[in-house]
Amino acid sequence: MKRLENKVAVITGASAGLGRAAAEKFAREGAVLSLWDRDEKRGEELANGLTEIGVVAEFRAVDVADTASVDEAVAAVHDRFTKIDVLVNNAGITRDGTLLKMSDEQFDQVVDVNLKGVFHCGRAVGRVMVEAGKGSIVNTASVVALYGNFGQTNYVATKAGVIGMTRVWARELGRKGVRVNAVAPGFIATEMVEAMPEKVQTMMAERSPLGRLGRPDEIADAYCFLASDESSFVNGTVLSVDGGLIS
């Protein structure tokens, strides 16, 4: 039996990078997918491609920073599929700058998506899961939340906040049948990273004890484990998938 057979999964930031890898992994494992993103073109293409190979998948244009957008999407997903078993809070952005040069706008944009977006989705989907008495929420943190990163005050703050929220929600929702965990990816070879100068990619790879960048599918595997019943006694954990960068 497939690991996510008939589980309804919402994945945010699903059109590219880690979200796309998660969608493809979950599809192979039998999940029913609601893919959320602001990039309608790529999101529709992904959902249509999965549908063509027999996967039950839909795309929804959702702005996780907007409460109404999230609440409407959750209601629509629940109306169509009658349940939500898994939420992967993957949507995130960067607006890098050193502390002395970072604008209020840069800081607020990242907080709105990376922190408030996780809160909006967790609250709305959490209500559905609590009513059903079961569910798994997987939040995307980052290795940089554990050690800091030059020029990323806003991003690091949000990812540290996600870790904190994960642990609070695990305590609040665990007794109601809902598990909440986080994945903290290291340096991963997403499209964004691959667009960086080669010397930057080399530097990132050399910082890992394994001597390479991670692959998006390796993060998707971690998402899948935490979403599946294989992790039924895992709650409130932060799973570092970083090649040993933090050890």
Residues noted as catalytic: 155
Contacts within 8 Å (CB) and 24+ apart, 41-45: 42/15, 42/16, 43/14, 43/15
CA distance 218 to 221: 5
Residue 35's CB: how many other CB atoms inside 10 A?
Answer: 28
CA distance 241 to 219: 7
**In Å, how far are 32, 49, 141, 177, 221 from 126, measured between CA atoms?**
18, 29, 18, 10, 23
Contacts within 8 Å (CB) and 24+ apart, 23-26: 23/50, 23/57, 24/50, 24/217, 24/220, 25/217, 25/220, 25/221, 25/223, 25/224, 26/86, 26/220, 26/223, 26/224, 26/227
CA distance 59 to 51: 11
CA distance 158 to 107: 10
- Name the one residue in this structure whose structure tokens are 């408030």: 116
